[in-house]
């Protein structure tokens, strides 16, 4: 049977999984596979009749941490190679920088997946940003509530998100439900960073302000 979609065919997703697995430890790959699963699960609520976008979500999830295990020096080398000067805020939050480098390497290392929506989902999965697309928000949330996450706040949000039975909501209510969940994950992350005295990326603050405004809070 020939598959009607040309860009994100299932066999390409499986090949991609193999390539990503070679870049990452088994532990990280377990997380990546779980994010893919979660992105698909959340994605079904919005794109149940859109196989192309569901596969785009799966590919974005598979690629979201592709540079996560590189050293800080290797991350900075990728930025230099692409003539990207990191902001002082990026350097102050080094654990978020793999989102930037991951997005930069996709066009050259994974050109068949170099869709701008996918690249932006990878680019903003650690910090969020103002005006996130639905796809960006799905990857952002999936990374926080995937089934390998055992922090109580992640477990609680996962249970809350699906427990509210979003499949029965209207489309508008479902988007608000996703916005609320993304906002909770940001609030939790901010409290964690504050408690550790770690720096907070300004993109995360603008993501929070934007989601609050959308929700009328």
CA distance 55 to 40: 8
Our CB check for Fe ion shows the closer of 90 and 146 to be: 146
Our CB check for Fe ion shows the closer of 140 and 168 to be: 140
Our CB check for Fe ion shows the closer of 37 and 50 to be: 37
In the complex, minimum distance from the CB of residue 69 to Fe ion, in angstroms, rounded to a whole number:
11
CA distance 169 to 106: 35
Total of chain residues touching Fe ion, rule CB under 5 A = 2
Which residue from 36, 143, 179, 210 is in contact with Fe ion, where contact means CB under 5 A? 143
CA 100, chain centre distance (Å)? 12
Q: Is 146 in the site for Fe ion (CB under 5 A)?
A: no
| Cβ atoms of residues 103 and 82 within 8 Å | no
Q: Is 36 in the site for Fe ion (CB under 5 A)?
A: no
Our CB check for Fe ion shows the closer of 155 and 213 to be: 155
Q: Which two tokens stand for residue 77?
A: 């080398």
H helices within the chain, ranges in order? Answer: 10-23, 26-47, 51-63, 72-81, 88-92, 97-109, 116-123, 134-145, 152-163, 171-195, 202-214
| Cβ atoms of residues 154 and 144 within 8 Å | yes
Our CB check for Fe ion shows the closer of 136 and 143 to be: 143
In the complex, minimum distance from the CB of residue 15 to Fe ion, in angstroms, rounded to a whole number:
21
Q: Collapsing DSSP states into helix, strand and coil, what is residue 85?
A: coil
Q: Is 179 in the site for Fe ion (CB under 5 A)?
A: no
Q: Near Fe ion by CB under 5 A, which window of 15-23, 60-68, 100-108, 153-161?
A: 60-68
Residues in region 61-90 near Fe ion by CB under 5 A:
65
The contact set with Fe ion (CB under 5 A) reads 65, 143
């Amino acid at each position: 049977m020939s598959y009607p979609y040309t860009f994100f065919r299932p066999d390409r997703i499986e090949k991609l999984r193999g390539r990503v697995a070679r870049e990452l430890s088994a532990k990280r790959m377990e997380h990546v596979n779980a994010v893919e699963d979660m992105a698909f699960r959340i994605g079904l609520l919005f794109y149940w009749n859109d196989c192309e976008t569901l596969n785009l979500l799966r590919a974005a999830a598979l690629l979201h941490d592709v540079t996560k295990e590189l050293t800080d020096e290797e991350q900075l080398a990728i930025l230099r190679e692409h003539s990207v000067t990191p902001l002082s805020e990026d350097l102050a939050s080094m654990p978020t920088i793999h989102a930037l480098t991951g997005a930069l390497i996709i066009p050259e290392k994974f050109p068949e997946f170099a869709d701008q929506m996918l690249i932006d989902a990878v680019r903003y999965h650690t910090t969020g940003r103002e005006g996130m697309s639905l796809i960006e928000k799905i990857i952002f949330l999936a990374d926080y509530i995937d089934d390998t996450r055992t922090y109580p706040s992640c477990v609680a949000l996962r249970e809350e998100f699906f427990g509210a039975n979003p499949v029965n909501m209207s489309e508008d209510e479902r988007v608000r439900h996703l916005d609320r969940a993304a906002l909770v994950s940001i609030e939790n992350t901010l409290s964690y960073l504050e408690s550790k005295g770690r720096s907070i990326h300004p993109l995360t603050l603008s993501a929070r302000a934007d989601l609050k405004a959308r929700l009328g809070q």
